[in-house]
Amino acid sequence: MKERIVHEFSVEKKGKYILYWMQQSQRTIKNDALNLAIERGNALGLPVLVVFISLPDFPGANERHFSFMLQGIENVEANLKSKGIGFRYSFGKIEVELEKYLDDAQEFIMDKGYLKIQKKWRDNIKSLVASKYPMNTYMVESDVLVPLEIASTKEEYSARTLRTKINKHKDFFLVEEDDLLPKVLWSDTLVKIGEVGLSSEDIISRMNFKDNVGESKYFKGGENAAYQVLDDFLKNKFQHYLLRNHPEYDYMSSMSPYLHFGQISVVDIINRARDEFFIRDDISQEAYDSFFDELIVRRELAMNFVYYNEKYDQFEGITYPWAYETMANHIDDPREYIYSLDEFEKCQTHDIYWNASMKELVETGKMHTYMRMYWCKKIIEWTKNYEEAYNISIYLNNKYNIDGRDANSYAGIAWCFGKHDRAWKEREVFGKLRYMNANGLNRKFEMEEYLEKTKNYTGAE
């Protein structure tokens, strides 16, 4: 769809292939960047080469994130091969590795990313292409329903303000085009560099992770797994989606790890959900609307936040003046409990629900949606000051959640500090920030069942 594409440079060049640097959209199904590469290849009579580059020192990444991602890359390689598209794996600094493939490329395609580091890579690569290998270059936005700058040209105040803008464009962007197949098949003689056929274990064994957080036994990565998880959700859980906030149940889609690595298309998810809703009587309009609101509006609000707010990951830049003011007014309030990072990480608080949620996170790599809010709110309550609470929340969230280091990680934690929320009744420590407590959990949910579900999880040592 042309509205998802920005034609960055328009320069004629001769080459042997169309090069697609896959970074954000790590999939072969419903990937607009890959489809554009195939379309350009077919128009020019050239094959397509996809390059994936893995950094040895991706900030904050550990074995848990890498194994999930690399299981996905194994899928990508196999699926590309079956379509006659070339694939190379490279290991090192993005610009250095990519440069090895640029000289022989006739056109160059990137997918779009919104985090600071992703924007920086793309800026550096654009400068490299412009200065040394000028050629037709495209950026394709394939991981949101409505391209960010079409939805809004500024940082949005809340879900309400973005929702109206998304609603204006949603029908247009829900239309999906069929995936393309290349007319000219890839031949491995075309490039002599890079690696193929590596298993995720091979690559993991070459890495040197700072954190000792192992692979999740509960979530397998890759587009094949993503569709299995989605099918299970649509078939067995979607009808109960309005109960998703109950920690004792598991009625969420579990799409967040797959979305984080671009292993599934958000447009495909919502279209499949809509088809299911149309044919089934047991899925209510409300359930579909709520799913749409979380998957599209909330998620794209998070992307809007990181895209337009340079300080999305620094305490002084995450929230509104009223929230900073109320925190300043309550900074000296006595805290009933104060825990260190180590105590939080080892699940050593006095609160059985908080400890259970932390154990769930450490064990599975994905904390229940509702418990994420409670978890962060309590870190605010039990820490010396707000900035330390923010830093601890970001650190633990990003270390253990497979879907960590996402736009949603930054927006979700910022929300606990008032972002995209409103002021509430004033109280100790929280000031006007929304408050949550264990009584609320007990009143609304069967917390004994959540404790039962998590009782064999041991947490970090």
Ligand X SMILES: Cc1cc2nc3c(=O)[nH]c(=O)nc-3n(C[C@H](O)[C@H](O)[C@H](O)COP(=O)(O)OP(=O)(O)OC[C@H]3O[C@@H](n4cnc5c(N)ncnc54)[C@H](O)[C@@H]3O)c2cc1C
Whether the CB-CB separation of 109 and 40 falls below 8 Å is answered with: yes
Q: Which residues pair with 310 in a beta bridge?
A: none
41 — alpha (psi -120 to 50), left (phi > 0) or beta? alpha
Q: State which residue, 140 or 259, has the beta carbon closest to ligand X.
A: 259
Task: Give the nearest distance from C-beta 4 to ligand X in angstroms.
Answer: 19
Residue 260: φ, ψ to 5°: -55, -45
Residue entry with tokens 């959700």: 233
Number of residue whose CB is nearest ligand X = 412
Query: How near is the Cβ of 258 to ligand X at its closest, in Å?
Result: 8
Q: If you write DSSP's letter for every residue of 431-448 in order, what string do you get?
A: BTS----HHHHHHHS-HH
Question: What is the strand order of the sheet 5-9 is part of?
Answer: 5-9, 136-140, 105-111, 17-21, 48-54, 86-91
Q: Which is nearer to ligand X, 21 or 305 (CB)?
A: 305
Nearer to ligand X, 36 or 327 (CB): 327
Distance, in Å, from the CA atom of 215 to the CA atom of 69, rounded to the nearest integer, reads 11
Choice between 56 and 60, CB closer to ligand X: 60
**Pairing between β-strand 5-9 and β-strand 136-140 as defined by DSSP bridges:** antiparallel
Please, which residue, 373 or 451, has the CB nearer to ligand X?
373
**The tokens of 35 are what?**
């489809």
Under 8 Å between Cβ of 19 and 51: yes
Cβ proximity to ligand X, 43 vs 218, nearer residue? 218
Min dist CB 350 to ligand X, Å, is 20
Tokens of 422: 């409103």
- Cβ of residue 159: shortest distance to ligand X, in angstroms? 9
CB-wise, 246 or 432, nearer to ligand X? 246
Burial class (CB within 10 angstroms; exposed 0-12, middle 13-18, buried 19+) of 308: middle
Widest Cα–Cα separation across the chain: 70
CB of 294 to ligand X, least distance (A): 4
What residues contact residue 278 under an 8 Å CB cut-off, 6+ apart? none
Nearest approach, Cβ of 66 to ligand X (angstroms)? 16
Are 109 and 18 within 8 A, CB to CB?
yes
- Kindly state the smallest distance separating residue 260's Cβ from ligand X, in Å: 6
Instruction: Provide the CB-side half-sphere exposure for 45 (13 A, CA).
Output: 1
Give Rg (Cα) of the chain: 23
Task: Write down the least CB distance from residue 255 to ligand X, Å.
Answer: 4
User: For ligand X, which is the closer residue by CB, 81 or 240?
Assistant: 240
- DSSP summary character for residue 211: S
CB of residue 106 vs ligand X: minimum separation in angstroms? 36
| Between 5 and 273, CB nearer to ligand X | 273
Nearer to ligand X, 107 or 345 (CB): 345
CB 48 within 8 A of CB 108: no
Contact 33, 176 (CB under 8 A): no
Give yes or no for a contact between 100 and 93, defined as CB atoms under 8 angstroms apart: no
Angle at 239 between CA 233 and CA 240, to 5 degrees: 90
Decide whether 35 or 397 has the Cβ nearer to ligand X: 397
Q: Point out which residues bind ligand X (CB under 6 A).
A: 244, 252-256, 259-260, 294-295, 298-299, 302, 369, 372-373, 376, 397, 401, 403-404, 406, 408-409, 412-413, 415-416
Least distance from ligand X to the Cβ atom of residue 93, Å: 26
Closest approach of ligand X to the CB of residue 107, in Å: 32
